[in-house]
């Protein structure tokens, strides 16, 4: 099932929907009203917290809709979770080729990590799949791209065993871990600042529920102005999703709706010769097979 958060073009209100075709969405709240059901489906977080009872209702809605679908030419898809409850968890160095290109750039010793690198992006960094990424040359000019598979936690938990980890996944989305590269590097070796600026976490265009996607073998690409910069597959993830969920949940409670961005493959801008960065007027496209493509213009601040 493909779940979206959308906004009608003539309204500021956000709605949750089930995408039933390329250009059609079912209004979940309207469908719930049409059934006189009582589920809380106002936001994607409500739906995720609703657990299996809500999913049973959504499957019934998708199979037997009672309302006319919303046409997507009258609406705009937003980030599926426009305002997460907490920071987006992120993973560094999780594709070997990216580890190699980054290590070469920074004269690292090339020793592979034993533990994943974690950092996070602020909730205010979350951006829609077609929204403008702010560009302010007075802040930095080193705006870089990182296509990543986003994992949405369903059932919460702490000290989650690797063998049980995938039972805690609600679904998947596309994330670009957009990075202001010089800011990332200059703050004492921790990355949060350079990866948390406003609008640097475009997410979407939907969440595909875990039952509907084979996450271990998905083609993922990133293009700038139509030129492919990253082209890899989630089968090359170094730390697999069960390990990431296990390690993150050690002594730290994961909650429904938490988001994990699982790391980026090779082809980022700073590691190119010469280095490449984006500027106002560029178009960033981020795509994962089976989920969809985001198109984010780089804009003036």
- Helix, coil or strand: residue 19: strand
Shortest Cβ distance from residue 262 to Mg ion (Å)?
9
Give yes or no for residue 144 binding Mg ion (CB under 5 A): no
Pair 300, 282: CB distance under 8 Å: no
Distance between CA 285 and CA 133 in Å, rounded?
12
What is the 8-class DSSP label of residue 149? E
Contact 234, 217 (CB under 8 A): yes
- Binding-site size for Mg ion (CB under 5 A) equals 3
* Closer to Mg ion by Cβ: residue 2 or 223: 223
CB of 90 to Mg ion, least distance (A): 6
Give the shortest CB-263-to-Mg ion separation in angstroms: 6
Whole-number Å distance between alpha carbons of 44 and 224: 30
Q: Can residue 146 be called a binding residue for Mg ion (CB under 5 A)?
A: yes
Which of 54/176 has CB closer to Mg ion?
176
DSSP state, residue 27: E
Structure tokens at 289: 């097979």
Q: Which stretch binds Mg ion (CB under 5 A): 70-78, 138-146, 158-166, 238-246?
A: 138-146
Residue recorded with tokens 């049973």: 56
For residue 191, the minimal CB distance to Mg ion (Å) is 9
Among 230, 262, 264, 286, binds Mg ion (CB under 5 A): 264
Q: In a 3-state reduction of DSSP, which class is residue 49?
A: helix
Q: Cβ closer to Mg ion: 15 or 176?
A: 176
Stretch of 23-31, 58-66, 119-127, 256-264 contacting Mg ion, by CB under 5 A: 256-264
* Helices and strands (H, E) in the chain, number of each type: 6, 19
Q: Which is nearer to Mg ion, 209 or 221 (CB)?
A: 221
Residues in 17-46 at the binding interface with Mg ion, rule: CB under 5 A: none
Residue 111 structure tokens: 């020793």
57 contacts 32 by C-beta, under 8 angstroms: yes
Biggest CA pair distance of the chain: 63
Residue nearer to Mg ion on the CB measure, 31 or 146: 146
Q: Taking the complex as a whole, how short is the minimal distance between the CB of residue 98 and Mg ion, in angstroms?
A: 9
Question: Do residues 299 and 280 lie in contact, with contact meaning Cβ atoms separated by under 8 Å?
Answer: yes
Q: If binding is defined by CB under 5 A, does position 258 make contact with Mg ion?
A: no
Given 31, 101, 131, 177, the residue binding Mg ion (CB under 5 A): 177
Instruction: Using CB under 5 A, list all residues that contact Mg ion.
Output: 146, 177, 264
């Amino acid at each position: 099932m493909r779940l979206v958060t959308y906004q009608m073009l003539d309204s500021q209100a956000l709605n949750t929907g089930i995408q039933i075709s390329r250009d059609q969405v079912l209004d979940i709240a309207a469908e719930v009203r049409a059934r006189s059901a009582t589920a809380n489906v106002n936001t994607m977080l409500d739906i995720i917290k609703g657990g299996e009872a809500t999913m049973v209702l959504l499957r019934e809605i998708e199979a037997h809709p009672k309302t006319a679908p919303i046409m997507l030419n009258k609406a705009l898809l937003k980030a599926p979770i426009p305002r997460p409850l907490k920071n987006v968890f992120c993973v560094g160095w999780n594709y070997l080729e990216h580890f190699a290109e980054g290590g070469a750039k920074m004269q690292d010793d090339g020793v592979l990590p034993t533990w994943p690198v974690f950092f996070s992006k602020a909730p205010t960094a979350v951006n829609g799949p077609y929204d403008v990424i702010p560009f302010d040359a007075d802040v930095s000019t080193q705006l870089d791209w990182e296509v990543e598979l986003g994992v949405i936690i369903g059932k919460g938990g702490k000290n989650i065993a690797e063998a049980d980890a995938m039972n805690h996944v609600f679904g998947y989305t596309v994330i670009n871990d957009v990075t202001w590269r010089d800011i990332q590097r200059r703050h004492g070796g921790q990355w949060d600042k350079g990866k948390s600026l406003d609008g640097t976490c475009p997410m979407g265009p939907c969440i595909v529920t875990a039952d509907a996607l084979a996450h271990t073998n998905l083609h993922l690409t990133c293009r700038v102005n139509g030129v492919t910069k990253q082209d890899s597959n989630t089968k090359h993830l170094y730390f697999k999703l069960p390990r990431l969920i296990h390690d993150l949940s050690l002594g730290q409670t994961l909650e429904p709706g938490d988001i994990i961005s699982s790391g980026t493959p090779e082809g980022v801008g700073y590691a190119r010769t010469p280095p490449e960065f984006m500027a106002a007027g560029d178009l960033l496209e981020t795509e994962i097979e089976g989920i969809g493509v985001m198109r984010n213009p780089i804009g003036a601040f």
